[in-house]
């Protein structure tokens, strides 16, 4: 969960104009986790449009409470990336994480349908 929170914080800072590399190297995470953190941050930036489309198509936004997305939706995007394109699993106990875990099958099914239609890249 700390890795996802750190990734969301880095994305938040990058949206304000600060560099990704600078943020990655200034984190207090162990060096062994930094490659994974970099993969998450760059992956979310690269696939943001797809992640938002899958969230919209799967209707997960109807289940997500607005309070869970404070101060922004970067944590949500990180969790979607991890479930769909990253490690395929998320750990943690927050309400947002539990919601994403419960909707995981629907999210993956939606991504698969987008890939079949040619609207999303296959990996």
pLDDT of residue 51: 95
Q: Answer whether 44's CB lies under 8 Å from 77's CB.
A: yes
pLDDT in tens, 14-60: 876 678 888 888 888 898 999 999 999 999 999 999 999 999 999 99
Distance of alpha carbon 37 from the chain centroid:
11
DSSP 8-state symbol, 61: G
pLDDT in tens, 70-79: 888 999 999 9
SS3 105: helix
Distance CA 105, CA 54 (A): 12
pLDDT in tens, 80-92: 999 999 888 888 8
Q: Which residue has the tokens 């949500």?
A: 76
């Amino acid at each position: 969960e700390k890795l996802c929170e750190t990734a969301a914080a880095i994305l938040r800072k990058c949206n304000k104009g600060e560099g990704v590399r600078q943020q990655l190297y200034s984190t207090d995470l162990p060096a062994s986790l930094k490659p994974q953190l970099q993969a998450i941050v760059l992956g979310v930036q690269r696939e943001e449009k797809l992640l938002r489309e899958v969230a919209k198509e799967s209707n997960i936004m109807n289940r997500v409470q607005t309070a869970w997305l404070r101060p922004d939706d970067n944590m949500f995007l990180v969790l979607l990336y991890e479930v769909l394109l990253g490690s395929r699993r998320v750990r943690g106990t927050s309400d947002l994480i539990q919601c994403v875990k419960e909707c995981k099958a629907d999210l993956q099914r939606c991504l698969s349908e987008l890939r079949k239609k040619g609207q999303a890249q296959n990996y």
